[in-house]
Chains A and B, each alone.
Chain A
Amino acid sequence: MRAALRRALSALARLNRLGRIGLAILALFGLMALAGPSIAPYDPRATQVDAKGEMITLSPPSWRHPLGTTWQGRDVLSQVLHGARPTLAVGLSAALILAFLGVNVGLWSGYFGGWVDLVLMRAVDILYGLPFLPLMVVVMSLLAREQKYVILGIGLVAWRDVARVVRARTLSLREEAYIKAVRSMGAGHLRVIYLHLFPNLLPLALLFLAFGLVWSILGHADLSFLGFGDPQHPTWGDMVSAAWAAGVMSEAYWWYLAPSVCIASVSTGAFFLARALEEVADPRLRRGGPGA
């Protein structure tokens, strides 16, 4: 266990420059998610009034409101800071669900083959036939517009790509001599899958975790934009949606620019990290030893 942690840390240390930038970006927004509500200057839902008691609506960036205010006089900066937490919470949770599902299904499919593989892969194929947004709209309409359903929805639909790729890799790993060796030593199936196959898939799994984060955030932003987000926890996507609904896209750029930049930054950061992890995971380190 300790060795695995050590190896994970060394992998992080080996990230190239882009990867480090990505990690820094994600760390920054992670901090925002944790500390945002505490450092926000105003209540994101409170209407701001000026010295004369009038609502400050649609005001461009000023000293009092660095990111301006909304149609309803709410402080944009506070909304952005508050919006980080639900956005990232949903993103990370959904990413974890889809990585967990995808990796496990891929592992079992690839390792056992036969009927298990047949059934699982047909399930994946069926899922491919269901488009994400319409499905989510239906689900949200039937259930309630709560954050947990969004998480579940995204996680349950997006794991199919992960499963396919993990299955392919498992198929080739299964034939490696060291897997055969461990099986011939009497290791049970579960041991082989989780103790021997999975660690070799870890880089791939981490890669998909990063991708999953991006997919979830963007998918969630789409949903929020369409108005299907959770009104209790307004996210960045909700902000853009509100700006659009108010019809002030051409005038009040400050309202939707900030949340959009945040979404783009987190996505970019996650992609940079994913690319860097890919390089680390690449079996270029396979044949060591003296080459002539």
Chain B
Amino acid sequence: MARFGIGDKVCVEDTYPLGHIRTPFYIRGKHGVIADFVGEYLNPELAAKGESGLPKQPLYRVRFNQADAWPAYKGPSTDTLDVEIYEHWLAPAVE
């Protein structure tokens, strides 16, 4: 079951574990909004180690403001960036 719905505000985990991590370094700790539900997939972090990767993890397309993602961003404030992020890397954003 997907924990988040489209439009939910989320924060990416600000952690830096070793191993095969699909969440890009640059987006960790940033706030975004759920733009789409992509599907459920084997957990790549576990599958990478030869484990089954079950249970499957929901994968979301999360939208960020470019200005939030990059401290020195000089483009228009309306520019956004979509990143696909697994559910276990997301927490509800604290207002």
Q: Do A and B assemble together? A: no
